[in-house]
């Protein structure tokens, strides 16, 4: 018996990276999981690799499109009859540059991708959770949501700080109705996405990609990057019975990188 038997989770951007790690961790505890993503092919591949057709589903769409995000919630309910856990994992940024060179497009994209998508999904999920008598909202933030000491990513830093504030606001409004809201703040993890965007970000800050990764590892108390499995374990804690008394928390999985 798993701690999440009978529960249904929606994990945005769940086909790879941190989202995939969380999805697999929730599945291992007995939950049914709906993953989302922009690529139908990647969704099909993820479902095939996981190999649990009775407890997994994939919904395509772009987290930067409001109607599509809201549709994921109704799609999850349609697939498995309920929704207990929402993991807002979608989000990213591009156009890395110092503030005086940062474009409107890069700024807007970061906030839409990170903050707006979490708001749209949470707003749609809350009525379902209220009808169930409770639920879990888990936002995948970042160590950068607590700090501001990396150059050329002010849009990402600002959006993750905003996500953390939204996490606390939801926790305050719905805590007495059985709904918890927390944010996981991972440190650097070498996901597929990091491999894609890391070199361009490193170049903007004047270092190689390997130097960029080494700097993150050096900043941590454990001397290495974190893993998706470690983030997944935190998500399981927050989603399960043991997490019922944890809300409004910004929980680090960063190897001791953040000072608070």
Residue 258 makes CB contacts below 8 A (sequence gap 6+) with 143, 146, 147, 185, 187, 252
**107: left (phi > 0), else alpha (psi -120 to 50), else beta?**
alpha
List the chain pLDDT tens, one digit each, 260 residues: 899 999 999 999 999 999 999 999 999 999 999 999 999 999 999 999 999 999 999 999 999 999 999 999 999 999 999 999 999 999 999 999 999 999 999 999 999 999 999 999 999 999 999 999 999 999 999 999 999 998 999 999 999 999 999 999 999 999 999 999 999 999 999 888 788 878 887 887 789 989 888 988 888 999 999 999 999 999 999 999 999 999 999 999 999 999 99
Cα-flanking dihedrals φ and ψ of residue 224, to 5°? -155, 170
259: three-class secondary structure by DSSP: coil
Q: Known catalytic residues?
A: 156
Host H or E run for residue 5: none
**Pairing verdict, β 8-11 and 85-88:** parallel
Tokens 């374990």 found at: 233
Please state which of the four CATH numbers 3.40.50.970, 3.40.50.720, 1.10.10.10, 3.40.640.10 is assigned to the domain occupying 8-189+227-252. Answer: 3.40.50.720
């Amino acid at each position: 018996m798993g701690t999440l038997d009978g529960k249904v989770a929606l994990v945005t951007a769940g086909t790879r990276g941190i989202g995939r790690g969380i999805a697999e961790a929730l599945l291992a505890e007995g939950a049914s999981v709906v993953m989302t993503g922009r690529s139908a092919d990647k969704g099909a591949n993820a479902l095939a690799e996981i190999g649990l057709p009775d407890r997994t589903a994939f919904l395509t769409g772009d987290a930067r499109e409001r109607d599509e995000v809201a549709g994921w919630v109704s799609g999850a309910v349609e697939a498995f009859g309920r929704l207990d856990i929402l993991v807002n994992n979608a989000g990213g940024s591009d156009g890395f540059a110092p503030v005086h060179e940062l474009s409107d497009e890069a700024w807007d994209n970061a906030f839409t991708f990170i903050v707006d998508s979490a708001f749209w999904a949470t707003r749609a999920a809350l009525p379902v959770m209220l009808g169930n008598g409770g639920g879990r909202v888990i936002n995948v933030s970042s160590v950068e949501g607590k700090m501001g000491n990396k150059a050329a990513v002010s849009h990402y830093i600002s959006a993750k700080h905003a996500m953390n504030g939204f996490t606390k606001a939801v926790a305050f409004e719905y805590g007495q109705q059985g709904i918890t809201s927390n944010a996981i703040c991972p440190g650097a993890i070498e996901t597929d996405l990091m491999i894609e965007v890391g070199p361009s970000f490193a170049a903007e800050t004047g270092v190689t990609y390997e130097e960029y990764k080494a700097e993150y590892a050096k900043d941590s108390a454990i001397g290495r990057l974190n893993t998706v499995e470690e983030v997944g374990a935190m998500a399981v804690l927050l989603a399960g019975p043991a997490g019922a008394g944890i809300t409004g928390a910004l929980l680090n999985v960063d190897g001791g990188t953040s000072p608070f």
